Chains A and B, each alone.
Chain A
Amino acid sequence: SQQGEEDPQALSIQEGENATMNCSYKTSINNLQWYRQNSGRGLVHLILIRSNEREKHSGRLRVTLDTSKKSSSLLITASRAADTASYFCATEAGGFKTIFGAGTRLFVKA
């Protein structure tokens, strides 16, 4: 069963707007990661937030984590056409396993 579930499933915005994607998970975690996947390619790691952190920034990315609600959000500010991709949250499921959600497809219109 999937640990993380993203919403929305798809998001279409104009260049320059902010994009927010949410992830919910079911069990306790040690950390949560966000990955990006361009069409037909492998995934690329964006950012990791640990369970004792509430917010983390990396360039135009801002990730929040609310362990009481078992949810996380990824905000991409001032989006660009090149940000068009699928975004996945992933949780460390104990041992060496990482479980990925179904992803949010982001389309940024130029």
Chain B
Amino acid sequence: SQTIHQWPATLVQPVGSPLSLECTVEGTSNPNLYWYRQAAGRGLQLLFYSVGIGQISSEVPQNLSASRPQDRQFILSSKKLLLSDSGFYLCAWNPGASGSYEQFFGPGTRLTVL
């Protein structure tokens, strides 16, 4: 069966510090991968998605970046965090095959920037 992992679960970082959040998927190959951010009590904002190794699409211009160094690894990074980067970050995957729209979510990382 497939599983998706995210770490860390929680993170408190000072403004201006770097960020690296990691997401890995097990039990599948060539998944589509997604990073979302969720502000408190709000919906999900799509940040990045990837349909293959090294292929990253950015949805929102900001100080975040994403990379996919391996087929089942998706990393969200920042060189200098802003207060507005605080939120709940969710990684998700879907099979990527035609007609497969359901997304499977990780447990999330709660980031607080002070």
Q: Which residue of B lies closest to A5 (CB)?
A: B43
Q: Mark A12-23, 1 if CB is under 8 A from B, else 0.
A: 000000000000
Complex CA distance for A41 and B108, rounded to whole angstroms: 7
Q: Which of B13-21, B64-72, B76-84, B95-103 contacts A (4 or more CB under 8 A)?
A: B95-103
Contact (Cβ within 8 A) A31 B105 = no
Q: How many residues of B contact A (CB 8 A)?
A: 25
The binding surface of chain B is classed by DSSP as strand
Q: How large is the interface on A (under 10, 10 to 19, 20 to 34, 35 or more residues)?
A: 20 to 34
Partner of B108, one of A42, A44, A92: A42
Alpha-carbon distance A92/B102, docked complex (angstroms): 10
Q: Which of A1-60 contact B (CB under 8 A)?
A: 2, 30-31, 33, 35, 40-45, 48
A100 with B44, Cβ < 8 A, contacts A31-B101, A33-B102, A43-B90 known: yes
Partner of A33, one of B42, B101, B108, B110: B101
Give A37 to B110 CA distance when docked, in angstroms.
Answer: 15
Nearest-neighbour CB distance to chain B for A28, whole angstroms, equals 15
A44 CA to B92 CA in the complex, in Å? 10
